[in-house]
Amino acid sequence: MTEAILLVGGQGTRLRPLTISTPKPMLPVAGLPVTVHQILRARDAGVSRVVLGTSYRAEVFADRLGDGRALGVEIAYAVEDEPLGTGGAIRHAAEKLTCGADDPVMVLNGDVLTGVDYRSLVGGHVESGAALTLHLTRVADPTAYGLVPTGGDGRVLAFREKPQTPEEIVTDQINAGCYVFTRSVIDEIPTGRPVSVERETFPDLLERGLLVRGVVDDAYWLDLGTPWDFVRGSADLVRGIAPWDGHEAADALVLEGAQVSDRAVVGEGTTVGPGVQVRGDALVEGSVLLEGCVIEAGARVVDSVIGQRARIGAGATVVGSVVGDDAVIGAGNELRHGARVWPGVELPATAVRFSSDA
Ligand code: GTP
């Protein structure tokens, strides 16, 4: 039996306002919380017990996931009174593990979609006798990530968090947020204070001369930290680009109780959430429409997230934007790349554009 710790206690500030009421890992991508996608993949790779390290809005996880039985795993909760950072959270969650000191423990960041082979990561870790194994992925622009150069034998040489200068960009391999620890290594992380695993624990293991392995794997990988990556990840799942066992690739996913008019065009991996209404000749592409929102006739919604019960008025345009729960975008209004509308805000109709589009 393998146990896993999922880190799901972050505030998800980059995804505001979506994360004001729902923690990032519980936001639905292709209709299911990110955490559920992760748990299902971990279960299929032999993980039977998951400890969720929660802090921000901890109650949302237990309400929705319960004891895990419905997902075919056992779920335990380790709730932090104050956020302990990634390392502190792993140490705190370890109190709920049942495995022995020499056993492998998988640790996953709660906001990553990946097709990496968990089973082979754990198997390779055990065989090598390493203290820590990290999944590394290659990205075109590594500046927003933690760089992890390795030697020819896969041994990690250094950790460089978010490089600032070109000289610091020593590799395109980045920390993909999926680790296998030997349990005893977790037990050595200090308790009772915030610890960053990336800035403190990992460099410390290297300094102590312990074996830290990096496994470069080019399977699908996406960090859902920003709204733009969030909509992309959801669309990739729907379209069969991101891994989702048993799902048949489709152009759109229309969930129960949603109503899509015959004249509407809905595609490019869009998810139409429960109870959503897409009316008239509305066009929706590459977007996530959350439960109960309404898209009126003639509206155009592209690469955007529309919050629960929000309303996009007739002829309005919403491109690359986030509309919070219960917000109203007036008829004919336009939101373009990067716009974020807070929950409940009402933007007026702009009648001129509406009348020319209607
Ligand atoms: P941003 O605020 O947008 O950066 O998002 P975030 O708060 O999720 O931070 P980040 O993406 O860097 O976190 C990586 C993973 O660690 C996410 O899955 C977080 O939920 C988790 N995480 C970050 N800090 C903590 C913490 O203090 N406690 C716990 N339990 N998890 C954390």
Q: List the CATH number of the domain containing 263.
A: 2.160.10.10
pLDDT the model gives residue 220: 96
Structural domain includes residue 223: no
Residues 254 and 202 in one domain: no
| Token code pair at residue 126 | 């055990």
Quote the strand ranges of 152-211, DSSP E: 160-161, 173-182
* Residue ID of nearest Cα to ligand 1 atom 28: 9
Same domain? 273 vs 323: yes
> pLDDT 10s digit of each residue in the chain, 358 long?
799 999 999 999 999 999 998 999 999 999 999 999 999 999 999 999 999 999 999 999 999 999 999 999 999 999 999 999 999 999 999 999 999 999 999 999 999 999 999 999 999 999 999 999 999 999 998 888 999 999 989 999 999 988 888 888 889 999 999 999 999 999 999 998 999 999 999 999 999 999 999 999 989 999 999 999 999 999 999 999 999 999 999 999 999 999 999 999 999 999 999 999 999 999 999 999 999 999 999 999 999 999 999 999 999 999 999 999 999 999 999 999 999 999 999 999 986 554 444 4
Residue 112 lies in a domain: yes
Residue 228 inside a domain? The answer is no
Are residue 162 and residue 305 in the same domain, yes or no? no
> Rounded to whole angstroms, how far apart are CA atoms 180 and 133?
5
Which amino acid residue places its CA nearest to atom 1 of ligand 1?
A: 12
The domain boundary residue, chosen from 218, 233, 267: 218
Do residue 192 and residue 270 come from a single domain? no
Give distance in angstroms: CA of 281 to centre of ligand 1. Answer: 40
The per-residue pLDDT for 351 is 61
If one residue of 7, 51, 81, 174 were mutated to test the ligand 1 pocket, choosing by the most ligand atoms within 8 A of its CB, it would be 7
Residue 308 falls within a domain, yes or no?
yes
- Cα of 158 to ligand 1 centre, how many Å? 22
Structural domain for 249, as ranges? 245-355
> Is there a single domain that holds both residue 319 and residue 261?
yes
Q: Rounded distance, CA 265 to CA 139, Å?
A: 33
Examine the domain organization and report whether 171 and 265 are in the same domain: no
On whether both 28 and 133 belong to a single domain, the answer is yes
Angle made by CA atoms 19, 323, 348, in degrees to the nearest 5 = 140
Looking at 201, 218, 235, the residue that finishes a domain is 218
pLDDT value at residue 356: 43
Four-residue CA torsion sign, 108, 114, 118, 120: negative
Q: What is the pLDDT of residue 4?
A: 98
> For residue 110, which atom of ligand 1 is closest to its CA?
18
Alpha-carbon distance 236 to 34, whole Å? 13
Residue 115 lies in a domain: yes
Q: Is the CB of 35 under 6 A from ligand 1?
A: no
Same domain, 192 and 83: yes
Q: What is the CATH number of the domain that holds 84?
A: 3.90.550.10
Of 172, 201, 218, the one marking the end of a domain is 218
86 lines ligand 1 (CB under 6 A): yes
Using the mean position of ligand 1's atoms as its centre, give its distance from the Cα of residue 256 in Å.
31
Total tally of structural domains belonging to the chain: 2
Cβ(356) to ligand 1 under 6 A? no
Contacts made by residues 252-255, CB under 8 angstroms, sequence distance 24+: 253/30, 253/31, 255/31
Query: Which numbered atom of ligand 1 lies nearest the CA of 108?
Result: 18
Domain annotation covers residue 10: yes
Whether 162 is in a domain gets the answer yes
For residues 177 and 314, membership in a common domain is answered with no
Specify if 239 maps to a domain: no
Give the separation between CA 84 and CA 81, rounded to whole angstroms: 9
What sign for the dihedral angle of Cα 125, 128, 130, 133? negative
Same domain for 9 and 136, yes or no, is yes
Same-domain pairing of 211 and 307:
no
The protein residue whose alpha carbon is closest to atom 31 in ligand 1 is 9
Of 44, 28, 178, the residue nearest 116 (C-alpha): 178
143 shares a domain with 68 = yes
Any atom of ligand 1 within 6 Å of the Cβ of 57: no
Ligand 1: does its nearest atom lie under 6 Å from the Cβ of 274? no
